[in-house]
Chain A
Amino acid sequence: MRKSKILVVDDEEIMRCSLSDWLKEDGYDVLAVEDGYQALEKIKKEEWDLAVVDLKMPKMDGIEVLKKVNKSKPGLPVIIITAYATVDSAVMAIKEGAADYIVKPFNPEEISRVVARLVEHQRLIKDNIRLRKELTKRFKFQDLVGKSPNMLKVIEMIKTVAPTNSTVLIRGESGTGKELVARAIHELGPRKKFPFIAAACGAIPESLLEAELFGYEKGAFTGAVSQHKGRIEMADNGTLFLDEIGDISLKTQVDLLRFIQEREFRRVGGNAPIKVDIRIIAATNKHLEKMIAKGEFREDLYYRLNVITIEIPSLRERREDIPILAEHFLEKFSLSTGKTFHGFSEQAMQVLVDYDWPGNIRQLENSIEHAVVVANEPEIHTKFLPQTIVTLETQRYEAKSYLSLEEVEKNHILTVLKTQNWNIKKTADFLGINRVTLYNKIKKYQFRKK
């Protein structure tokens, strides 16, 4: 682990050396300079975790150094130290943003505690920034790849709604990337510094959903051994993403509606109302209007959620995005597996474009991952793609290559034989012919099981 770096600024050599020696013994990487100008130069050029600055210095006093540090490196904690403590200077230092004000000589217990606290705090801040950067990189439109008019419309819509506080309903088939769109709205909006909490309503059993969303008090039910914050409370100031909203019961719909209207709720088993400030994004692959007509979804909740709607097209509705998505996933999985690929063969790409992708992007992503794992050549060929896609699509592709009817029949029978593992009965059933006919075809085309 990197040693924390501390900059000591004191015009008195004996103080500089003494403090540096002591901090070095504590395992810090210490540099001592004798005036504010040198300190500001060092702070400008290098990354520091803490600066310990003497108040009284001839060229530039500690408060001046502090002010300049606050402008150039606002996150850097500065401890002001002095042998001439006054209430005025202490108040001034704290007002100007000093992390602490300590009188020389220091009590060893006090200084070690203060330094350790500030260095640890700084480490946590840096960790936090790093993780945020990673997260932003991870979710920022990275997987929202596409140049089709349908997808560009979605991206434009995300950019428009993200800065607002409006509730958004995202609609689209399973696997189209509804959560990704929700995250993008969160990341591009003013709440990005706060949590994005997702609740997969359909995946949580009905009996647990209420407690999961609203939290519970200790003793609210058997097993509630301690107080538990719900997803709504966890999302305070941030975004709550309610996925599969069409799957929640009418009872939970009532609770949710009340919460959306009043923006406050009570934990299960609790009496105190809790107010939260959250943005709600809901998503569904269900036809909510039909559900309303059948009495399965509350109309009032529908209107509360359906303030702004984003319709995500299915993958077959934007086939022109398939090559770019396929290349994107190929790059992604090449990086994670450490394999290098030149790209897809023409035939493999045609198979991908022609396939209907009922599982949408998720299925495409899984298929590319499959191909990357099994491929032992620098190009992704059809043979590396999952069998389910290839079986049907190869025939289509080959049919497109102006083969004779006999050749199409030959290829088709062979493909089905292989997929049915040369089981004659199953193959005949699949082809809709009797076994005798199939045997005749096998004989005619001279098929042999290898």
Chain B
Amino acid sequence: MKYIYLKTIGLVEPTILENLVKSLDMLFPFQSKLIVDEENPLFAFEPKRDQYYAKKMIEKLAGELPLDCEKLVGITDVDLCTPVLTFVYGEAQLSGNVAVVSLNRLRQEFYYLPHNDALLVERLLKECIHELGHCYGLFHCNNSKCVMCFSNSIISVDNKEKNFCVGCKEFVDKTIRKENYA
């Protein structure tokens, strides 16, 4: 039996993770498991930008895959970036096994607004599904409501739904069948 692993990278509130695990269980034909690693990801820190490189986290996580792992998503509270982008909500290996998602810019506090747990979980869920979609080989989708639509602002994260559109869903289901039951 395979699992979608969620692994914390640094400190993350447990309640948020519990809610995330429950929601993911309903969306994918795999159960989710949580691994807690509270160590600060200094290895990925870029002092010039005061941010963390998503790619470095992915590389590290890829070397720590459990044997029964379907996909592994790292969850972190630090601000993620890539060498070419000022920030990312998350990053994934396209058609790979590992992704990472940051809570940092999904929080209302980042935009000087009052904390909202439910909204944070919803946003985190969308970004996790989005990055898992990339792991299953999906590109960005032009349908603004599809979870695979590229989000370049928090408004676009909120605008999309936490589901794949029909085409993307079909693609993911087909990939899962091919990878697991072929």
Contacts and interface: CB of A to CB of B under 8 A. Distances in A.
A112 B150 contact: yes
Interface in A105-155: 105-109, 111-112
Interface residues of A, number: 21
Contacts of B83: 12, 14-15, 18-19, 104-105
Contact of A105 (B85, B92, B94, B134): B85
A379 B78 CA distance: 79
Interface of B: 49, 55, 81-88, 91-92, 94, 134, 139-140, 150, 152-153
Given A18-B82, A109-B153, A26 B87 contact: no
B95 to A, nearest CB: 10
A107 B94 CA distance: 21
A19 B84 CA distance: 6
Contacts of A19: 83-84
Among B49, B84, B94, B152: residue with most chain A CB under 10 A: B84
Q: Is the interface of B mostly helix, strand, loop or mixed?
A: loop
B84 A15 contact: yes
A-B interface, 9 closest residue pairs, ranked by CB to CB distance from nearest: A27-B139, A109-B152, A108-B152, A18-B83, A19-B84, A18-B82, A18-B84, A105-B86, A26-B140
A14 B86 CA distance: 15
A104 B81 CA distance: 12
A362 interface: no
A262 interface: no
A106 B134 contact: no
Contacts of A109: 152-153
A111 B83 CA distance: 13
B129 to A, nearest CB: 14
A108 B87 contact: yes
Contacts of A81: 84
A111 B82 CA distance: 13
Interface string A11-39: 01011011101101111000000000000
A108 B152 CA distance: 5
B84 A105 contact: yes
Contacts of B140: 25-27
A429 B108 CA distance: 97
